Amino acid sequence: MSKRVLVVGDVMTDVIVQPEGPVVIGSDRRAAIETRPGGSGANQAVWLGAAGVEVAFAARVGMVDKASHEGRFRLRGVTPCLSGDEKLHSGMLVTLVDPSGERSFLTDRGANLNLSAEDLPDSLLDNTGLVLVSGYSFFAPGPRAAVQSLLSRARRRGTAVAIDPASIGFLGEVGPSVFLDWVGKADWIFANGDEAAMLTGTEDLTLQMERLGAQFERVVIKRGRDGAALGGAGGMVMSLPAPTVDVVDSTGAGDAFAAGFIAELMAGRDLSACLARGIENGAKAVQFVGGQPR
């Protein structure tokens, strides 16, 4: 099997805001503000590149930014497969980081909303062993139709498919049954604890595994400080703890986890090693600001 991973998702510019204290409504608060490249799919691709995985990344950006984004991805070990949009600007995300390291997002997806089937041709699947799709791609009609077409073609080829739900907020808006119907059958799902609870209607980890396992061959649930677990229709298979680290910014930790897990998977490692690498990557990611490796 080919070792290449194809990631499909959003390209964003992250504007990261760290106030010195609680935001004061109607007044000022000093803050550290910086911009970094981001987007769930882009983060996953860059983390995979950092792990030495052969990875291609398909997305849509503003035409004026296309060359700079392509250059940035190449420098991070990622083959960019970007389409340029002549009308919409590249996506932007404002991340508000509170003193505990937790974050809230304000999102303008920009050109990502115009991702089309023409942006995802059959040639992207050539020599590809796994397709990883960010859930953000399902939350607008155009990108949803594009990725559904790609996934249908991947399944016909026998190419493995992995889904990361990516956003508890958007899941709540559309509803879990609608989202799961959009996604269809897949080999893998990488959900965090909140996403798993919403998708299954239960907080019970074993039931989450069983219910998601009815649609996904393997279920990976990212549990933050509690580590991560893996299972399927038969319930829990394994669970590993997370190391105790100082959390600076949790942005992109789930993306780092998925990339670490998949890097080991594509290298032929056993599932315990995959889970451990995912946890290691996630723990690393929360110790600095931004969603991509330094």
| pLDDT (0 to 100) of residue 151 | 98
- In the prediction, which pLDDT does 123 show? 97
CA pair distance 165, 179, nearest whole angstrom: 9
Instruction: Render pLDDT for 266-294 as a digit per residue (tens, 0 to 9).
Output: 999 999 999 999 999 999 999 987 778 88
**82 closest CA partner among 96, 97, 71:** 71
User: Using CA atoms, how far apart are residues 215 and 237, in angstroms rounded to an integer?
Assistant: 17
Question: Residue 93: which pLDDT band, with cuts at 50, 70 and 90?
Answer: confident
Asked if pLDDT for residue 265 goes beyond 90, the answer is yes
Would you say 220 and 229 are in contact if contact means Cβ atoms under 8 Å apart? yes
Ranges assigned E (strand) in 86-159: 91-97, 103-108, 128-134
The model's pTM: 0.90
Per-residue DSSP letter, 117: G
73 confidence band (pLDDT: 50, 70, 90): very high
Strands (E), the chain: 4-8, 12-19, 31-38, 55-62, 78-85, 91-97, 103-108, 128-134, 160-164, 186-192, 216-222, 228-232, 235-240
More confident residue, 18 or 151: 151
The answer on pLDDT for 250 being more than 90 is no
Q: What confidence tens digit (pLDDT) does each residue in 116-138 have? A: 999 999 999 999 999 999 999 99
What is the model's pLDDT at position 289?
A: 75
Once rounded to an integer, what is the mean pLDDT over residues 108-116? 95
CA distances from 166 to 100, 206, 217 (A): 21, 21, 19
Q: Is the pLDDT of residue 56 over 60?
A: yes
In whole angstroms, give the CA distance from residue 135 to residue 155. Answer: 18
According to CATH, what is the number of the domain 4-9+37-89+114-285?
3.40.1190.20
Interstrand relation of 128-134 and 160-164 (parallel, antiparallel or unpaired):
parallel
Burial class from Cβ neighbours inside 10 Å (0-12, 13-18, 19+) for residue 169 reads exposed
Q: How far apart are CA 216 and CA 194, in angstroms?
A: 18
Confirm if 39 and 143 have CB atoms less than 8 A apart: no
Give me 262's structure tokens.
């998949």
Distance separating alpha carbons of residues 129 and 123, to the nearest angstrom: 13
Q: Give residue limits of the domains in the chain.
A: 4-9+37-89+114-285
pLDDT digits (tens, 9 = 90+) for 19-49: 998 888 899 999 999 888 888 999 999 999 9
pLDDT at 75 over 90: yes
pLDDT value, residue 263: 97
Give pLDDT, residue 2.
62
- Averaged pLDDT, 179-189: 97
